[in-house]
Amino acid sequence: MNENANAANAHPPPKTRWLPALRDYALIVIGSIVQALSVVVFLAPADLAPGGVSGLALIFNRALPLPVSIGLWVLILNIPLLVLGVRFLGGVQFLIRTIVTVVLYSGFTALFERAGIKGVTDDVLLNTLFGGIVGGVGAGLVFRAQATTGGTDILALLLVRWRSVPLSQSYLLTDVLVIALAGLVFGWAKALYAVIALYVGGVAAETISEGVHISRTATIITQQPDDVAEAVVTRMGRGVTRWQGTGAFTGADRPILFIVISRAETATLKAIVSQADPNAFVVIGQAQEVYGEGFRQFERK
């Protein structure tokens, strides 16, 4: 029976294999709609161009005497960046999903413009904050679907991959030129608001795409490893990994413990270590994602 169960897990039914793809494309559709609404309802009415192809499309729409909508500009400007993304961020899957996202995003933007959807407030600060948050949520949903909305999202993800630059900072680095151009067209006050919208959007995208499953990792160098490990296992129900290190200065053996916990368990762990070995050396860091027993599980593709 176990062999049959293992075989079934190794080869899930066709319907099961399609579910993750269906979920991803649903996220792409929803994310595209949300991003289009952020442009039409918040950013465009306030002449805010917070970087990216969306910002550049808004600038071209306002500054050039051409009968081209913001949505169509988004589509045109994305073409060369799509080529770059396909080359460095993925193959066929990336190409298909990103093309779908770009078409939907530009299409929904043009549709909302044609439908006459207007802004809800004239307050520049409110448009800045909600434009950034709503647009970031949309981008984060698209990132979760293993796609991008094209544009400088591609450049930002390249910085994340090549230089481990946080997503919120990547947006600032890749969109400086667009914001500078927005300052020349709309005025420098609007450009400064656009910087705020850009950063807020990056934080929102980072939160949505990576989730709120941030955990803590603890590396503990202690002379009482058995006491600490036993307390962690019995009181916290967490596993402990142990190995032996050597002090470079003293040459003495140093038992090392490695533990992964939730944020809420940090205080409990510190109390345990303090009681067992007040002289322990403890380093507590942040883990963006943790997979395995007691935490998240890998999704079956």
Over residues 196-223, the mean pLDDT reads: 83
Predicted pLDDT of residue 293: 65
Beta-carbon contacts of residue 140 (< 8 Å; ≥ 6 apart): 31, 204, 205, 206, 207, 208, 209
Q: Where in the chain is the domain with CATH 3.30.70.120?
A: 215-287
Predicted pLDDT of residue 91: 58
Strands 241-246 and 253-262: antiparallel
Predicted pLDDT of residue 298: 63
Over residues 183-190, the mean pLDDT reads: 90
Q: What is the pLDDT of residues 236-268, one digit of tens each?
A: 888 899 999 888 888 888 899 999 987 768 888
Q: How confident is the model at residue 1 (pLDDT cuts 50, 70, 90)?
A: very low
Over residues 114-142, the mean pLDDT reads: 93
Name the pTM for this structure. 0.67
Is residue 93 predicted with pLDDT exceeding 90?
no
Architecture of domain 215-287: 2-Layer Sandwich (3.30)
Beta-carbon contacts of residue 90 (< 8 Å; ≥ 6 apart): none
What is the rounded distance in angstroms from the CA atom of residue 154 to the CA atom of residue 173? 12
Q: What is the pLDDT of residues 15-48, one digit of tens each?
A: 556 788 888 899 999 999 999 999 999 999 999 9
> DSSP state, 68?
-
Percent of the chain exceeding pLDDT 90 equals 33
53 in Cβ contact with 74 (< 8 Å): yes
Strands 281-287 and 215-221: antiparallel
Is residue 136 predicted with pLDDT exceeding 80?
yes
Q: How confident is the model at residue 212 (pLDDT cuts 50, 70, 90)?
A: low
CA 190 from centroid of its chain's CA atoms: 26
Give the residue, 181 or 290, on which the prediction is more confident: 181
Over residues 187-215, the mean pLDDT reads: 83
Over residues 126-148, the mean pLDDT reads: 90
Is residue 155 predicted with pLDDT exceeding 90?
no
Q: For the chain, how are helix, strand and coil distributed in percent, rounded to 5?
A: 65, 10, 25
Measure Cα distances from 88 to 163, 213, 225, 235 in Å. Answer: 14, 28, 45, 47
Is residue 285 predicted with pLDDT exceeding 90?
no
Is residue 6 predicted with pLDDT exceeding 60?
no
Q: What is the mean pLDDT of the chain?
A: 82
What is the rounded distance in angstroms from the CA atom of residue 149 to the CA atom of residue 160? 16
Predicted pLDDT of residue 202: 83
What is the rounded distance in angstroms from the CA atom of residue 246 to the CA atom of residue 269? 24
Predicted pLDDT of residue 152: 72
Is residue 214 predicted with pLDDT exceeding 90?
no
Is residue 95 predicted with pLDDT exceeding 60?
yes
